[in-house]
Structure 1
Amino acid sequence: MNWLNSEAFVLFGQHIKWSDMIGNILGLIALALGWRRSLWSWPVQFLSGLVLFAAFVNHLTGSAGKQVVVMAVAGYGWWRWSRGKDQGEDGHISVRFATWRERAAMLAGAAVGTVAVALLFKAYPNLSWDPWPDAYIFVGTIVAMYAQARGMVEFWFAWLLVDLVGVPLNFANGYAFSGFVYVIYGALVLWGMRDWWLRSRRDARPVLEGAPA
């Protein structure tokens, strides 16, 4: 599997690795499938995490660790969507806006999680070259995927906030293809946000404050 971390080609002076390219293309496909509310979004996301783990494990240990968490959350998303309880009349997952309590919980979790992970990265410098932005992306990705698993429109807002930091960070760390793909993510996120926003009105249903997962 050494070929995964070999150079695929050079783009605008940036050396593109096979693992970086394949993993991010799979991530882009997973996001597109999420837009379409397809159950296959999750196994593709899992495979993307597996390939990106191979890309980062020898250089960016913290980023590799993030992929392990991404794969775990992808498993949760698959379980959640495959239960069928949240499906709409078209057979796909129904979408909705989060309650204020859910939003507060996600914001608090993101803030506390980012600080905790950043302090961990600072305590163990070999885990990350850029502790704070790495921690922000690490935790933001988990929050976004959790919101996606719950069918929350806020999933797209979370991804957009991750993209704002992810683009410059990936270019700075030499993962140019990741940076290019994050730009495409941004456009896809805006389209997906609009689609889920409008669909949430059609899929509107009573939501109990603090309903259990």
Structure 2
Amino acid sequence: MDFLLHHGFTMLGQQVSLAELTGQVAALAVVFLAQRRTLWTWPVQVAATVLLFSVYLSAHLGGLAARQVAILLISLYGWWAWTRRRDPVYGVVVRKGSARERLAMLSAFVAGTTAMALVLDALDASWAPWPDAAIFVGTLVAFAAQGAGLVEFWLVWLIVDGIGVPLQIASGLWFSAAIYLVFAALVVRGWWSWNRSAEQSGAQGSIQLSTGVL
């Protein structure tokens, strides 16, 4: 891992390590795979977390480093959950969250960000505790919703990307910031794809109920 951290290339005057390059490319692939609702989403995510953990730890971003550990654990849950909710033709079944689920996601994001920021500040584990914490908690909320097959997880990712780009730039991680911008474009496309699938599933369910087919 030391080799990957200390070797790389220069981009726009900034050093990009092989660990950052490989980890962010793998993370980018995760968004692409998630859009297609394939189980390969999760093992690729596991590989990305291992690499990015070392990158953020070396950049003194404790929240983003801890985020990778949490992502690893949630990825294992997501992998298990998707195997149980998999359609042999269309991939994992997705749906729109209820009003209660959306409120729970928002509450978890606000309360979790506040608590995590205070912890990071108290431990001096991050030079930017509030955005660092927001990205950490937003990621947990997004991956938990993704594991449950909720369309809204894409919208949470947009928030995370919006916070992450300026934080990565301020931290000197220009390549990661550029990747976050690509993430945002893929997230919008992913939301559109999942939203359409959820509407089709809902319409099919309504037809089955009206015809008495269960």
TM-score (norm 2): 0.91
Counting only pairs closer than 5 Å after superposition, residues 45-194 of structure 1 correspond to structure 2 as: 45-58=45-58, 59-83=60-84, 86-88=85-87, 90-125=89-124, 127-194=125-192
Residue deviations 1:23-70 (CA, integer Å, cap 9, x gap): 110000011100000011011111100111121223333321111001
**Is the helix fraction higher in 1 or 2?**
2
**Whole-angstrom CA distance in 2 between matches of 1:194 and 1:96:** 12
2:92 partner SS? coil
- Asked whether the equivalents of residues 64 and 135 of structure 2 are also in contact (C-alpha less than 8 Å), the reply is no
Structure 1 residue 44 and structure 2 residue 36: aligned?
A: no
What does residue 19 of structure 2 align with? 19
Deviation at 1:12, TM superposition (A): 1.4
Counterpart CA distance in 2 for 1:91 and 1:192 is: 15
Name the aligned partner's letter for residue 96 of structure 2: F
Deviations 1:110-157 (A, max 9, x none): 1110000000011111x1110000000000011111111111110110
User: How far apart in 1 are the matches of 2:35 and 2:175?
Assistant: 22
Question: What is the distance in 1 between the residues matched to 2:79 and 2:192?
Answer: 23
Instruction: Note if contact 1:4-1:54 (Cα within 8 Å) is conserved in structure 2.
Output: no
Shift of 1:164: 0.4
Opposite residue 150 of structure 1, the aligned amino acid is A
Structure 1: runs of 5 or more not aligned: 207-213
Q: CA deviation at 1:3?
A: 1.2
Q: Determine the structure 2 residue equivalent to 1:34.
A: 34
Aligned identity (percent) is 41
Report SS of the residue matched to 1:39.
coil
Name the residue aligned to 1:211. none
**In 2, are the aligned partners of 1:88 and 1:203 still within 8 Å (CA)?**
no
1:70 is aligned with what amino acid?
A: I
Task: Give the counterpart letter for 2:149 in structure 1.
Answer: G
Deviation at 1:7, TM superposition (A): 3.8
Structure 2: 5+ residue runs without aligned partners? 207-214
Root-mean-square deviation (CA, aligned residues, Å) is 1.3
Q: Which residue of 2 aligns with 1:196?
A: 194
Does the aligned pair in 1 maintain the 2:151–2:191 contact within 8 Å?
A: yes
Q: Which residue of 2 aligns with 1:210?
A: none
Write the letter of the residue equivalent to 1:164: G
| Residues matched between the structures, number | 203
**1:80 corresponds to which letter in structure 2?**
A
